[in-house]
Amino acid sequence: MYMESGSRYRYPILRGREKADVAVVGGGLTGLSAAFWLAKSGLRVALAEAKTIGSGSSAYNCGILAPCHQMMYARISDEKGISAAEKFAQTHIEAIQSIRALSTNPGFSFELQERNGLLAAIKNSETAELNHETETMRKVGLPAESVSFSDASDPGAAFIKVPYVYRINASRYLMQLACNAEKLKAKLFENSRVTAVEVDAVYTESGSIQAPYIVIATGYPIINIPGWYFLRLEQKKIYLYQTEKRHDSDHVIMAADGSYTCIPGETNDLWRINGGFVGTQTGEEGILTSRLRIKKKEDRIAIDTYAPDRIPYIGRYSSKTPNIFVGCGYGGSGLAGSMIAAQAITAQILGLPSAEFDIYSPIHRTISFHDLLRSGRQYANGLFGGFGAPRCSHMGCCLIYQPSSHLWECPCHGSRFDNIGRVVNAPATRPVHLHKRK
């Protein structure tokens, strides 16, 4: 029910110097969506992926396309104004409609099915918030409605029906993006980890791409300064559970607080459970799994990247790098978010009107003092908290070994490494030297 790990096709390693109009770093949903959209607009595109196409976080996409995966609109309206919530809704609707249009395009072949989507308030105390969310969604053009719903798999206190919810074969969709981008003359390279980014070029161990525009689509951005994304993002573990059997409902159920999503399949269900930060072991997922009475037959662990306000960062990387762009921090909504990023970045590179994407702009958003303090404390704890432990190649934090996954994890910014020190997850771009474990 989730994607297979890596591409079915094989693309060459980047060797020597390539020239393009746009260099894309990362071959997941964001990178491939951007590559396709940019190439479709007539630009020469070259993409470098560290491993194989679709082998990162995109490999664990659950295939739910929706205008939200938790309560969002009321908070955006309250904090930023109703016009910001309208932009958030409109860009999501347009992204969903664009993916729907691709599903009927003769050049694409992937399944897309409309589903009944529900936001579920877990606690009685959330009922008032859910009602506020319903009212706000209606104001911004999303015809949400409160509904009565009883399902043994989810003891939610209240529910609202969410429009524009689709089930998509995410694996097929991603590979179709790659194939169609290549048909449009985009060049795709695998096993080509970018280790350095300059103003007009990106570099791997065996080659480079020279380009006046660069798109960073690595999940967690790999450029520390400028941008300061290591202070503006958090990486969390996502637990994917396939159950022994499916429950009776055909509804896609999404927790109002974003803690879980239940996706019904033909013979069983897929649960997406939010866990703690990378490099920690909080047990949150176990408590929630027990409460929801999930009987699992298979599980996997993925990583997802979140912005503190849960609004993705999409647009120019920083005010000092106007030709470098980024798309990240989707927090579970990668299908819609990656399409929004592709459309926004393409419009900005081509100089087209793009005011509707301002809500996502990294330049126009500042980190709060609370989040800055949290990030600083987290970094200090990671830097000095593990005497004798291997150090992360990103910013020097002490790595923590997780026996269950056989991976080394950075508690500061979420990089992960395998047993011999190779990078598994960004923002690190270089391997680490590991001591032999006794």
Sketch the domain layout of the chain as residue ranges: 16-62+170-231+310-360, 113-166+234-306, 388-425
pLDDT of residue 241: 83
> What CATH number matches the domain at 388-425, 2.102.10.10, 2.40.440.10, 3.40.50.880, 2.60.40.2310?
2.102.10.10
Q: What is the pLDDT of residue 278?
A: 79
Amino acid at 286: G
Helix axes 170-183, 82-103, angle to 10 degrees: 80
pLDDT of residue 402: 84
| Strand partners for 262 | 253, 271
**Token output for 161:** 């029906």
Are 371 and 307 spatial neighbours (Cβ–Cβ below 8 Å)?
no
How much is the pLDDT for 378?
63
pLDDT of residue 120: 92
3-state SS, residue 264: strand
Q: Which fold has domain 16-62+170-231+310-360?
A: FAD/NAD(P)-binding domain (3.50.50)
In sequence order, which residues have a C-beta less than 8 Å from that of residue 381 and are 6 or more positions away? 411
In this prediction the pTM is: 0.90
Give pLDDT, residue 124: 82
CATH topology of domain 113-166+234-306: D-Amino Acid Oxidase; Chain A, domain 2 (3.30.9)
State the CB neighbour count (10 A cutoff) for residue 179: 18
Q: Is 88 helix (H, G, I), strand (E, B) or coil?
A: helix
**344/201 Cα distance (integer angstroms):** 21
pLDDT for 104: 94
User: What are the pLDDT tens digits along the chain (438 aa)?
Assistant: 444 444 566 899 999 999 999 999 999 999 999 999 999 999 999 999 999 999 888 888 889 999 999 999 999 999 999 999 999 999 999 999 999 999 999 999 998 999 999 999 988 888 899 999 999 999 999 999 998 876 545 556 789 999 999 999 999 999 999 999 999 999 999 999 999 999 999 999 999 999 999 999 999 999 988 998 988 898 888 888 887 777 767 899 999 999 899 998 877 788 888 887 776 665 555 555 655 656 655 567 788 899 988 999 999 999 999 999 999 999 889 999 999 999 999 999 999 999 999 999 999 776 665 666 665 566 556 566 666 688 999 988 889 888 877 889 988 888 999 988 999 888 998 999 886 544
Report which secondary-structure segment, H or E, holds 380: helix 369-384
pLDDT score, position 343: 98
